[in-house]
């Protein structure tokens, strides 16, 4: 009786261990939420696709997690047997199946790419998708962004911008809050500045004056003619020499694209110290001819 009882207990113990092993097999603890895995598309359903990621059960990609873009044909985005990376967004259910996403992986890559471009001071192309009171909504590499009205080149009829592609710079990039704010005016300014060259003769309108210098509008970007760069002689009062709205010509002596600063000079156009004070009209009228000599001098100094 005792030996039978012992064998029975051993059988129960053996069965219990086998049962436990089978239970472990049903749950693959290798896969966790947030993990990037490689897999191949196995088959399609009306609401998604099954993916073989090497687990006991096939993983599932819901159709809404297949892409950042609107999906009309799953097969075109995820061809059968094509191996690619997926992000696990939901750990396994009672059947041992995990839910994976291509879309969330694209979102991660998009934020990383946009952050890199912002750090490098680069602009990005966007497509205007909608309009609201404050500005326009845009598509930025599949992400939703916003350009405030004050940062648009066209501020009145902004409805006309829907569907258009614009170049924009980054104002705010906050991945945690999903905030992406851009500026078309910043990109326009950046593009205009990048076209300027050292020792280039430019023409612009004076838009303001401070004791330290004169601000000159160069077709949408502002250059500074510092008081020390007006003439080879000392200028006590700029307002006695210039007026707002006046058109002047000057040489570009420095371009700082990173800071968006353009430094100008008229002193390099002078034939003698004080000529800008005594004969400004003559300096301006012959600026093109004078610029060639000044250019050689400026570039020679740079070399």
Q: Residue 191: CB partners within 8 Å, gap ≥ 6? A: 123, 167
Domain 121-185: CATH superfamily, name plus number: Nucleic acid-binding proteins (2.40.50.140)
Average pLDDT over residues 97-103: 91
Residues of the chain with CATH 2.40.50.140: 36-101, 121-185, 196-302
36-101 topology per CATH: OB fold (Dihydrolipoamide Acetyltransferase, E2P) (2.40.50)
**Distance between CA 256 and CA 231 in Å, rounded?**
23
pLDDT, tens digit (0-9, with 9 covering 90-100), for 180-219: 999 998 887 877 787 888 999 999 999 999 999 999 998 7
Is there a contact between 255 and 198 (Cβ–Cβ < 8 Å)?
Answer: yes
CATH of range 196-302; options 2.40.50.140, 3.40.50.11810, 2.60.40.1930, 3.40.50.2300: 2.40.50.140
**pTM exceeds cut of 0.75:** no
Closest C-alpha to 287, from 256, 262, 265: 265
pLDDT attached to residue 303: 39
Tell me the backbone φ, ψ of residue 140, rounded to 5 degrees.
-120, 95
pLDDT, tens digit (0-9, with 9 covering 90-100), for 39-91: 999 999 989 999 999 888 899 999 999 888 787 888 888 899 889 899 999 98
pLDDT, tens digit (0-9, with 9 covering 90-100), for 140-182: 988 899 999 999 987 788 899 999 999 999 999 998 888 999 9
pLDDT attached to residue 3: 52
pLDDT above 80 (res 14): no
Q: What tokens does 299 get?
A: 């570039």
Q: What tokens does 85 get?
A: 């990376």
Mean pLDDT of the chain: 86
């Amino acid at each position: 009786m005792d030996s039978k009882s012992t064998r029975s207990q051993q059988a129960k113990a053996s069965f219990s261990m086998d049962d436990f092993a089978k239970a472990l097999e049903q749950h693959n603890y290798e896969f966790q939420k947030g993990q990037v895995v490689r897999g191949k598309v196995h088959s399609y359903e009306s609401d998604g696709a099954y993916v073989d990621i090497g687990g006991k059960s096939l993983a599932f990609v819901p159709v809404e997690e297949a892409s950042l873009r609107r999906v009309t044909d799953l097969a075109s985005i995820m061809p059968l047997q094509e191996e690619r990376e997926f992000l696990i967004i939901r750990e396994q259910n009672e059947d041992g199946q995990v839910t994976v996403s291509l879309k969330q992986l694209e979102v991660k890559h998009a934020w990383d790419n946009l952050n890199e471009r912002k750090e490098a001071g680069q602009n990005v192309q966007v497509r205007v998708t909608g309009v609201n009171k404050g500005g326009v909504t845009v598509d930025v590499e599949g992400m939703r962004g916003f350009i405030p009205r004050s940062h648009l080149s066209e501020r009145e009829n902004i409805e006309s911008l829907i569907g258009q592609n614009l170049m924009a710079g980054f104002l705010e990039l906050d991945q945690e809050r999903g905030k992406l704010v851009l500026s078309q005016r910043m990109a326009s300014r950046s593009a205009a500045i990048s076209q300027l060259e050292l020792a280039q003769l430019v023409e612009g309108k004076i838009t303001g004056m401070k004791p330290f210098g004169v601000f000159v509008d160069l077709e949408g970007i502002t250059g500074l003619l510092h008081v020390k760069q007006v003439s080879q002689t000392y200028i006590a009062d700029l307002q006695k020499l210039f007026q707002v709205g006046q058109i002047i010509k000057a040489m570009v002596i420095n371009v700082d694209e990173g800071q968006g600063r353009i430094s100008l000079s008229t002193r390099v156009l002078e034939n003698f110290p004080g000529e800008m004070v005594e004969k400004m009209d003559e300096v301006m009228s012959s600026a093109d001819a004078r610029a060639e000599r000044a250019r050689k001098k400026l570039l020679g100094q740079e070399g």
